[in-house]
């Protein structure tokens, strides 16, 4: 399976992309980059499949790390360029995005209003008060509630109303949306991450056969695919669905990839043929565990010392384990798993984790 070569052409792409991003997109540096690309020898031996590697975006820093730090560099860069002094965003009660936004605002001296959506029911006091939401409060975020978990348009409308109210109080708000109706500016962070992966693989003399990533809002997934294709890397990027089924996620990715191509000035560099998603480890739904995810969280911890959250990375590693066991990755060169962070949510699932 073809991959990429790191040569003068790649260096030219790096410089071209750098100039395009600096010319058109403001950025504030929040993450500890580059994050490590490491082998997972014990998990590889246990599963008996292709060599497994991990891109450690749990190590981006910023109040617990995670993939959102890369995305926020571009959202908050745009906000500061517009003169904003207040950030408004939305997410689930245990949202990694909300926690990271709260931390970024604290670092930059901005007021942060977060809207928490009730997406997961029946998980008790730990889910409602510990984990990410505890850190949101510690970081100084002003918390609002939105009672519906699957109404992106309604959540956006509620943020717009809040922005209007804050503007009337003399604030200068900037909304970071998560819905499909807004251009995913933060996805540029994963175009940059793709460049990191290509460079690190070259340094380690790896020919990557596939990349496996959690796929939720689709910004990380779309940015990664687009960045790799822009770099000339052709390995498949397999998204493990963590919020919606494979067909719904496929439709979302079609739109997101086109938008990211336009954002970086490379229309058509990636497209529908690059979309690969699977939802075998999604049930019973967002933020809810299944046996495969429980096993993945346990194996990651006890074989590689990795802390995986039950919402994103646990389900994504479960998907990767399923692919290895099914033989779908047999004959594939080293596989890279993207660890998007989220470990604070482990505390929100205390009873589930203790049962492991």
CA–CA gap between residue 99 and residue 141 (Å, rounded): 9
Q: How far apart are the C-alpha atoms of 345 and 337, rounded to whole Å? A: 20
H-assigned helices in 82-211: 96-108, 124-129, 132-138, 152-168, 188-203
Is there a contact between 160 and 90 (Cβ–Cβ < 8 Å)?
A: no
Axis crossing angle, helix 68-81 with helix 96-108, rounded to the nearest 10:
50
Residue 107's region, left for phi above 0, alpha for psi from -120 to 50, else beta, is: alpha
The whole-angstrom separation of Cα 159 and Cα 284 is 29
Three-state secondary structure call for residue 84: coil
Nearest-angstrom CA–CA distance, 293 and 214: 13
Distance CA 283, CA 77 (A): 37
95 is known as an active-site residue: yes
Catalytic residue among 95, 100, 102, 217: 95
For residue 92, what are the contacts with CB-CB under 8 A and spacing of at least 6?
A: 98, 116, 117, 119, 120, 149, 286, 287, 311
Q: What phi, psi does 114 have (nearest 5°)?
A: -120, 140
Q: Which of 86, 83, 55, 60 is nearest to 71 (CA)?
A: 60
Catalytic residues: 95
């Amino acid at each position: 399976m073809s991959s990429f070569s790191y040569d003068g052409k790649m260096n030219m792409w790096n410089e071209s992309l750098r100039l395009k991003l600096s010319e058109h997109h403001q950025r504030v540096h929040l993450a500890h980059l580059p994050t490590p690309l490491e082998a997972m020898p014990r998990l590889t031996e246990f599963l008996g499949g292709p060599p497994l590697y991990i891109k450690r975006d749990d190590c981006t820093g910023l109040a617990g790390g995670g993939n959102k730090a890369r995305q926020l560099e571009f959202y908050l860069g745009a906000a500061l360029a517009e003169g904003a002094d207040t950030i408004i965003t939305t997410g689930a009660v245990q949202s990694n995005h909300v926690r990271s936004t709260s931390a970024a605002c604290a670092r930059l001296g901005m007021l942060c209003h977060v809207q928490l959506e009730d997406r997961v029911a029946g998980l008790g006091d730990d889910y409602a008060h510990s984990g990410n939401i505890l850190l949101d409060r510690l970081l100084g975020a002003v918390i609002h509630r939105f009672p519906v978990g699957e109404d992106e348009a309604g959540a956006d409308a509620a943020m717009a109303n809040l922005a209007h109210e804050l503007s009337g109080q003399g604030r200068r708000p900037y909304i970071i949306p998560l819905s499909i109706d807004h251009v995913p500016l933060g996805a540029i962070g994963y175009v940059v991450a793709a460049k990191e992966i290509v460079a690190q693989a070259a340094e380690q003399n790896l020919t990557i056969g596939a990349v496996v990533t959690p796929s939720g809002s689709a910004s990380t997934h779309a940015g990664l695919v687009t960045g790799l294709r822009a770099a000339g890397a052709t390995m498949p990027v397999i998204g493990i669905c963590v919020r919606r089924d494979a067909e719904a996620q496929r439709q979302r990715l079609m739109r997101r990839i086109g938008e990211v191509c336009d954002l970086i000035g490379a229309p058509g560099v990636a497209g529908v043929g690059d979309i690969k998603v699977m939802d075998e480890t999604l049930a019973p739904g967002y933020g809810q565990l299944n046996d495969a995810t429980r096993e993945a969280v346990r194996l990651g911890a006890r074989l590689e010392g990795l802390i995986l959250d039950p919402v994103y990375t646990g389900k994504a590693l479960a998907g990767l384990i399923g692919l290895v066991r099914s033989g779908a990755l047999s004959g594939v060169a080293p596989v890279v798993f993207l660890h998007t962070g989220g470990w604070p949510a482990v505390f929100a699932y205390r009873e589930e984790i203790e049962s492991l």
